[in-house]
Chain A
């Protein structure tokens, strides 16, 4: 079974509808086609979705009004959902920020703008 087949429900968290659209398109092209995608506009909405539905993967922005991506990542990793991989897609990523996010439990970190090829390669590499 391909590693992509183990993921069925994906939660996309970003305050920008444009960014949510781009993220979904890139993930579909990268190998996550035919999955169930649910969208949330910030960390609080995402936590509400997590209580209603089971997710295999969370993809989140960092800079959002309400609860931001750091708050969401910390909340998820301190909860019963801690096993769900959290991918961070942000415009404020550099080595120092990546180190901070990894310590908090981020699974993968991507700079904006993202590309399907970058997602595919990073996902495959992470599973080896």
Chain B
């Protein structure tokens, strides 16, 4: 995966949140978010089956996932259930990953995504040994909440 992957992933994240949930995002630097902040909020991960050795992780503040899921489902945030929020976060990650892969992979080649799962990708269990964060895309919503999408895999 080449050098323009960061640009493609950022666009995939912003386009997906805008079109699915009418949520506008502003790009931030990785220094804006602490590891503790990211690990405390909801996370979902999704491995790439083909080409193998890559995966995506999404981390979002509880308030933003509640707002986003409510927008998608057209209900008030107070009506949201934990299941609604988890399912919406999975579907958002699935759509972001698909948009990224469609732009990044040659149209002559098929690609396959795994199923979204809770938590971050474990490089030991689901990715080749030595896999690291390849692209880190942190964002802030208009309400000051965070969203980070990471592409993990083998470094070239």
Binding site for B on A (CB under 8 A): 15-19, 21-22, 25, 63-65, 90-97, 100, 111-113, 115
Contact = CB atoms under 8 A, between A and B. Distances in A.
Contacts of B74: 25
A63 B115 contact: yes
Contact of B72 (A21, A64, A92, A95): A21
A55 B121 CA distance: 40
Contacts of B20: 22, 113
The 10 closest A-B pairs by CB, nearest first: A91-B98, A95-B107, A18-B91, A18-B88, A96-B110, A112-B95, A16-B91, A18-B87, A94-B107, A97-B110
Interface in B1-46: 16, 19-20
Contacts of B98: 90-93, 111-112
Contacts, number: 73
A94 B109 CA distance: 8
B73 interface: yes
Contacts of B83: 17
A112 B94 contact: yes
A92 B69 contact: no
A28 B110 CA distance: 31
A18 B84 contact: yes
17 contacts: A15-B115, A18-B87, A63-B113, A65-B115, A91-B94, A91-B97, A91-B99, A92-B110, A92-B113, A93-B98, A94-B101, A94-B102, A94-B109, A96-B108, A96-B109, A96-B110, A112-B99
Nearest to A97: B110
A114 to B, nearest CB: 9
Nearest to B88: A18
B59 interface: no
A16 B90 contact: yes
A24 B88 CA distance: 15
Given A94-B107, A111-B102, 10 more contacts: A16-B87, A17-B83, A18-B72, A18-B73, A63-B114, A92-B101, A92-B111, A93-B98, A94-B109, A111-B98
B129 interface: no
